[in-house]
Structure 1
């Protein structure tokens, strides 16, 4: 007896459930995939390029009349691009995603560790410091907005503690988060330098004893409240014509409290013109 095959004929059309109508009349603001990792190459001010691994979040808007989006297309788009992702190619990928998913709006976040080989201030010994960087792209119709976010760890020393203590002053590691919209290309290192130069002292991966003496004394001579930090960084951003808009945040992981101190300034400089 000849058994019937359970496989579908090649020519038979497979149902596309995602494209079927939805009757609840509820649009979805963001739908897509999160935390998909992919190797990338980003531009490096000193070395030309830097190889790293990025984590991608990719979303589109879903109209009320569609049941679902095509999740596989996000992965196809990511894998169709070469690994050297710049702001320009990132913008191209954003437009392609909106087009292929037939959506009006799209959103991509590319988060990756960025490494800088830093020399210690006295001994000159070199070591790697890592910074968290995020490229964020949003598109509506044919209008896109690109922003860069970088988290810069620094040292802050409390001015009040220095003023009231007979000796010593408490200090702590702080994270300054800078999110900017630019009107031209800006190196990631430029943003990191801007923040580190406003801190009580910057951080290093490796320090010898002369370096440790230097950074301890430098922080003591340059105390900063969390409010000082965001104001000093914001003043530099206001004077930088490459920056159109920014958000600067500082969080001090207090060494004498079980809580953090926080401050934030945001500004859209294009609204002032």
Structure 2
């Protein structure tokens, strides 16, 4: 009686069958959402992420091939990325191997790494600190024309509406005049009133905001993730905080007052910061202010080349 588990059995592989008719070239075929324990390091060697999801595809350029060798793509991801520090050499070798693994069926390959950068951020004044998460994607493509890489990064921040701030100041001014018109006040008395609950006439509305940054990278180097985050947060001036004390919260309120921003202001600040960034050739920015006044959100987009 024959065994179903015989080691001599040759299992069929329909992907090796040749089509009798010419078929169109497929631009991308592969897998998405593959879980990988990936180590992403900062420029100072600190670990920023420990897991990622990966999308991997190759082109199917052979005119008579039924399909690609998909399992080979999966195995190569495990070999080059699983529990490894992400380095330029590993990425370049992986992209070349993805194409070579198809035995002449493919001329190009694409890899999308999606991960959250977990970065320790200090408080503004005190010695407190905590971890902030920044969603990121590193997209790499290898084709006959060369190697291209693109970084996508989301940086959260706070934005306070300039119009609302102006209206709040006007309301406070009106209340002050109504309360003290014709009275001779000392500076101490004025300061005491301004510090009291009576002076809480109106407050400017602020909102959780997001800057979506896309950079076409200029070389094969792994991006300086923390350097880019610092550049964006410094340009906007109002980064979200993690662990804080009261002095940090007050400093944050001052930061917002010093950096009143419409979405137009935000993208212009980021344009100035990114238009000379050394690791990129082109940048795209989209900002989103998730309104606390309106039921809708405000957005703005801007893009341009990097000048050196």
TM-score using structure 2 length: 0.80
- Residue 177 of structure 1 pairs with residue 212 of structure 2: yes
Distance 1:49 1:120 in 2: 20
> 1:77 — aligned with what?
76
Stretches of structure 2 that go unaligned for 5 or more consecutive residues are 172-201
Question: Which stretches of structure 1, 4 residues or more, deviate above 6 A after TM superposition?
Answer: none
Alignment of 1:118-129 (within 5 A): 118-129=121-132
**Which segment drifts farther, 126-135 or 159-168?**
159-168
Question: Greater strand share, 1 or 2?
Answer: 1
Stretches of structure 1 that go unaligned for 5 or more consecutive residues are none
> 2:186 — aligned with what?
none
The Cα shift of 1:258 comes to 2.1
Alignment of 1:200-239 (within 5 A): 200-239=237-276
Distance 1:177 1:91 in 2: 26
Q: CA offsets per residue over residues 185-241 of structure 1, 9 Å max, x none?
A: 441011101111122511121111211111112102211111211111111112334
Q: CA, structure 1 residues 176+235, in 2 after alignment: closer, same or farther (shift >3 Å)? A: same
The one of 113, 116, 119 equivalent to 1:113 is: 116
Distance 2:259 2:18 in 1: 63
- Residue 91 of structure 1 pairs with residue 89 of structure 2: no
Q: CA offsets per residue over residues 58-107 of structure 1, 9 Å max, x none?
A: 01112353222222112110111151112332232122112212411211
Distance 1:89 1:5 in 2: 43
Distance 1:100 1:147 in 2: 24
Question: Greater helix share, 1 or 2?
Answer: 2
User: Could you say what secondary structure the match of 2:299 adopts?
Assistant: strand
Distance 1:252 1:87 in 2: 35
Distance 2:17 2:289 in 1: 50
Distance 2:16 2:144 in 1: 21
